[in-house]
Chains A and B, each alone.
Chain A
Amino acid sequence: MKSYKYIWSIICLLAGMFSSCNDDFLERFPLDEVSNETFWNTENDLATYNNTFYHMALNDNEVPIMVAHHDGFNSLAWSYYFQDEFADNLAPRHERHLFFQQVRAGKQIVPNSAQWFGYSGWNFVRALNIGLENYGKAAISEEARNKYIGEARLFRGWFYAEKVQKFGDVPWVDHELNIDDEALFAARTPREEAMDNVLADLEFATTHIPDDWGDGNEPGRLNRWAALAVMSRVCLFEGTWRKYHGGTNPEMWLRAAADAAKEIMDNGPYAIYNTGDPENDYNAFHRVLDLSGNPEVMVWRRYQLGI
């Protein structure tokens, strides 16, 4: 009996000596903060993450696609004026709008130094790419996952389409960059290659985003119909540009634009707002704050005091 005890104690001692700490035990994540390693688990996590895209797009100085209203006085200097000043909707006379005046006057003057507009918004692309790299971690069905992938790719394609419209060639970034990434210093991606990527993003989005997110659409997330509308516009611009400025395969782009629009017209739930008063209907719905339930409105933004 006694010798058994010795043997046992030696075995126990050896076991203690030769086993080591589990490194995972020492690897701890902060409990009071959300970290990338611990976040991506449920469908709700993905949805909450994707909310950040809508939040970032509020800043239309950096992300002009949603035509938001950036920030008080500054909105007069940049932001949505970008869009409207290239058209004849606005004609401000202040000096800082000189670029747009020149464009409208048909002059083409290339500035000899970097300008403040258009080179920002890369935080948005980074957020999208981080999402796309991490959605796979959640243990949810592929169908559910693809909804959020589609949403992110819709934003990415849309954002890049806007950049291409302004600059032509753009640096296409499809993954999160760190400071040692060679892509940081890479040349711009040629226009047609970038737009092929845009089209792939939009095609994925328009097939995987649901027609209805089941969120009451007030105003809710961008649904498949909104994605189709974006795709139609982007493809129309690109097809027309290629047709009149040179480029390959403009018909394919114009066809894609037409198909996307036709899909909304034939199968979409939208209709002209009509209360049987054609004299006033158009005017009426432009003057209400709450557009929920209006069949003519696809995407809208709610403003409310005191929130």
Chain B
Amino acid sequence: MDELKIRASYGTLGNQLLVDNNNNPIYYPYIPTMGTGQSPFMMSAGQRTPYVSPAGLVSPTLTWETVVSQNIGLDFTLLGGKIDGSFDVFSRDTKDMLMRQQYPSILGTGAPQSNAADLRTTGWELALTWRNQVRDDLNYDITLALSDWTAEITRFINPEGVINQYYEGQKLGEIWGYETVGIFQTQEAVDNHADQSRLGANWRPGDIQYADLNDDGVISPGNGTLSEPGDRRVIGNETPRYSFGINNNLQWKNFNLNLFFQGVGRRDHWPTSGNWTWFFPFNAGHVEKYFITDSWTEDNRDAYFAHPHISTNDKKNIQPQTRFLQNAAYVRLKNVNLSYNLPAKWMSTVGFQNANIYFAGMNLWEYSPIRKPLDPESIYAGAIEYPMQRVYTLGAQITF
């Protein structure tokens, strides 16, 4: 062992920088300020009417956010410098997090930011490097960076336990949805199953069969609270877990190879069922081949998707559910760089200082269990955007 260092830190920091809905800083968050404007309601000819509008609300208990960070770390070097590593465990508590709660509309204005929530983030980070000089003209190194974190709401005033707000004990990124039994194959199966009319009308063979988790004979979202979530449950979490990057260098004589991989070990993704988005068939203004080959028909009963619905209004078959939940884990070869330094003795004859030819590639290879055409790195854009591209570059670099 060549080196060993143990680190620990603890810090508390106040945050008084509040931002409004447009992310502009609010310098006087405790003073309600009144808006001014020129109204098109004309009280006299030829001019707009100036007005001053009422001030917004300030929470009566407003104070600043506090972030408490703690970490313990370990740095080490082993085997004469061949292994170099560091490991960190951290937690970050955000106390009195400022956010807007929901209130009855007779409040008459947007809810003020109040110190409504506490958030706890915990995680760890690991960096490991393996370096080796095999021969005089051959050496390589591998660096692995791996990290993981989760965040949990430890305080939020939500007495009814409304699911679409924060609630105490919520892991950030939770996805609520139904459990899918499968696709109805016969009318008889539809008739014998629990009543799905709360989710849509006109159920028939080819539609999705949802599981009746609470055994009440009705498939429903309940009243959207923790105590009555209906037939929904947490089906996944979209927080990226075990993010990693692997960087490899190999040098042999005048050749130099660099490979960089990047990925996520675990992540769930619910493909948005909004209009004009990827993935769900007939949800947008275009048709792809898989819409047809992967949709249920009487001749294609094992299809992935329900039978075709050419409508952007009817979402009954694409409610958040286990069947279409995607595993967005991936590993991707982000970068490849192979270069060759022309021998120095050639250089002197042509008058260059050095010259180097290289091939570089981006996104050359990937593996992910996610279903095409989704890409684990571009799914969070929402609307249909330009997909990932493979890029090949061939070049030369000459220094005179």
Contact = CB atoms under 8 A, between A and B. Distances in A.
A54 B49 contact: yes
A258 interface: no
A307 B47 contact: yes
Contacts of B312: none
A48 interface: yes
Interface in B42-91: 42-55, 57, 59-61
A58 B32 contact: no
Interface stretch (A178-186, A191-199, A264-272): A178-186
B51 A123 contact: no
A58 B36 contact: no
Nearest to B47: A307
Given A35-B32, A58-B39, A171-B106, A179 B111 contact: yes
A304 B46 contact: yes
A302 B42 contact: yes
Given A48-B51, A177-B106, A185-B104, A34 B57 contact: no
B16 to A, nearest CB: 15
B32 A219 contact: no
B114 A36 contact: no
Interface stretch (A90-98, A103-111, A125-133): A125-133
Nearest to B53: A52
Given A52-B51, A127-B53, A171-B106, A180 B41 contact: no
Contacts, number: 135
Contacts of A184: 103-104, 106-107
A282 interface: no
B32 A179 contact: no
B361 interface: no
Interface string A29-72: 11001111101000001001101101111100000000000000
Contact of A55 (B49, B55, B101, B109): B49
A126 B109 contact: yes
A172 B81 CA distance: 76
A123 B56 CA distance: 10
Contacts of B39: 51-52, 54-55, 58
Contacts of A246: none
A178 B106 contact: no
A180 B60 contact: yes
A48 B52 contact: yes
A215 B43 contact: yes
Contact of B44 (A36, A127, A220, A301): A220
B45 A179 contact: no
Given A49-B52, A179-B60, A301 B32 contact: no
A31 to B, nearest CB: 11
A307 B49 CA distance: 11
B55 A130 contact: yes
Contacts of B105: 119-120, 122
Residue with the greatest number of chain B CB neighbours at <10 A, chosen from A33, A120, A173, A180: A33
Interface in B1-55: 27-28, 31-34, 36-37, 39-55
Contacts of B59: 178-179
Contacts of A54: 39, 41, 43, 49, 51
Contacts of B53: 52, 55-56, 127
Contacts of A48: 50-52
A216 interface: yes
Interface in A217-239: 218-221
B52 A55 contact: no
Contacts of B395: none
Given A45-B52, A49-B52, A307-B42, A179 B36 contact: no
Interface size class of A (residues with CB under 8 A): 35 or more
A302 to B, nearest CB: 4
Contacts of B106: 122, 125, 171, 173, 177, 183-184
Residue with the greatest number of chain B CB neighbours at <10 A, chosen from A51, A120, A183, A301: A51
Contact of B108 (A33, A125, A303): A125
Given A45-B52, A119-B105, A221 B57 contact: no
Contacts of B44: 215-216, 218, 220
Contacts of B107: 122, 126, 177, 179, 184
Nearest to B48: A307
B319 to A, nearest CB: 18
A218 B40 CA distance: 14
A180 B157 CA distance: 13
Given A35-B32, A36-B32, A179-B114, A304 B42 contact: yes
A178 B32 contact: no
B97 to A, nearest CB: 16
B112 interface: yes
A123 B43 contact: no
Contacts of A125: 106, 108
Nearest to B45: A218
Residue with the greatest number of chain B CB neighbours at <10 A, chosen from A29, A130, A183, A301: A130
A303 to B, nearest CB: 8
The 10 A-B residue pairs with the shortest CB-CB distance in the complex, in nearest-first order: A126-B108, A51-B51, A55-B39, A122-B108, A33-B33, A52-B51, A34-B34, A302-B42, A130-B54, A36-B55
26 contacts: A30-B27, A30-B28, A30-B33, A33-B28, A34-B34, A34-B52, A35-B32, A35-B34, A39-B34, A39-B52, A52-B51, A54-B49, A55-B53, A56-B53, A119-B105, A120-B105, A122-B106, A126-B54, A126-B108, A127-B54, A173-B106, A184-B106, A218-B43, A290-B45, A304-B45, A307-B42
Interface of B: 27-28, 31-34, 36-37, 39-55, 57, 59-61, 101, 103-109, 111-112, 114
Given A178-B60, A219-B42, A301-B42, 11 more contacts: A34-B33, A35-B31, A51-B50, A52-B54, A54-B51, A58-B40, A179-B57, A179-B111, A218-B43, A292-B45, A301-B41
